[in-house]
Amino acid sequence: MTETPAASDAATDAERAAMRHGLDLAARGPLTGGNPQVGCVLLDAGGRTVAEGWHRGAGTPHAEIDALAKLPRPSDARGLTAVVTLEPCNHTGRTGPCSEALLAAGISRVVYAVSDPGEVSRGGGERLREAGVEVVGGVLAEEAEQRLEGWLTAVRRGRPWVTVKWASSLDGRAAAADGTSRWITGAAARQRVHEQRAEHDAILVGTETALADDPSLTARGDAGELLAHQPVPVVLGERRIPADARLHAHPAGVIETGSRDLRAALEALHARGIRRVYVEGGPTVASAFLAAGLADELVVYLAPVLLGGGRLALGELGIPTISDALHLEVRAIEHLGEDLMLLARPRKKA
């Protein structure tokens, strides 16, 4: 989505600058928890910033409310312009509707970047217009879409954003001939994995991995300490894990799908408020997500070692000929000690 000419013409330079700052404010909020990252800047008639705020996670004040609360007096909001990175919500959840809060405060103009796609929460812009507030949408929409891509994708598709991760040797092997795989990559790469786990709502493995490895699937720091956010572990498959499995002691609990149906599992996770899933389930599960077209992002850790043999990091993808290859767009490359991390996304078909 790009900014429409109407939005470009209707927004002032000060509002566009405030929107860019609002996007930076939004990034201070958590990626996890089911809610979007949102920033808000309040401007006076001269285009000067008088207050700003951002959303700090589910159950906390939304960005608009956070910004309004920073004014010296509630009456100071009258006549101000609210610049918000996402259309103000129009529903009551853990907090009240931001559209009504802006109306009650006396905000006279609202500028936002992206329309809220939620079936329940959308409509705040129209509510404000009906009440006589001047509303401009679509300002810096493309930048906001990129910042909110994971959350927007989850809400629009009704299933979480899926990151598929694997680690392999340079020749694409996930393990040696005898099945050993600890550790293909070094300490820096393994720590980066823990940081990425903490950026997701859930971490998914298959029953084969859960039964064979008995993993803890926690997100840990350099010293082995638990990080502040712990993704809930999800075990995909029909078999149950044993009562004494380490996953039952996970601080976030554990979810067992009882099915190998990927789409059904993702929809069920979405219904629980899970918007970001980190798939770490080994070659079988990783291949299944890719073959089904359900991988939004790939994180591949490459170690400068050669293993040979048949323990490939990926299995069958249903690609019979080279012309059907799944083409990727590499978004980032990181050096982590001697290892490399590649962040890539499937190319969109024309």
298-338 per-position pLDDT tens digit: 999 999 999 999 899 999 999 999 988 999 999 999 999 99
Mean pLDDT of 43-53: 96
Over residues 6-11, mean pLDDT: 67
Model confidence at 5, pLDDT cuts 50, 70, 90, reads: very low
Top-level class of domain 159-346: alpha beta
Alpha-carbon distances, residue 84 vs 1, 37, 66, 111, 202 (angstroms): 17, 11, 12, 6, 28
pTM check: above 0.85? yes
Close Cβ partners of 192 (under 8 Å, ≥ 6 residues apart): 301, 334, 336, 341
Domain 5-155 and domain 159-346, same fold? Reply is no
For 133, the enclosing helix (H) or strand (E) is none
Q: Which position among 3, 15, 64, 100 bears the catalytic label?
A: 64
Domain ranges of the chain: 5-155, 159-346
Distance CA 148, CA 277 (A): 15
Decide if 87 is catalytic: no
Q: How confident is the model at residue 178 (pLDDT cuts 50, 70, 90)?
A: confident
Question: 4: Cβ–Cβ under 8 A, 6 or more apart, which residues?
Answer: 138, 141
d(CA 313, CA 120): 41
| Spatial strand order in the sheet of 109-114 | 49-54, 39-43, 81-86, 109-114, 134-136
pLDDT at 6: 54
Q: Which CATH superfamily is domain 5-155 in?
A: Cytidine Deaminase, domain 2 (3.40.140.10)
Assess whether pLDDT exceeds 70 at residue 2: no
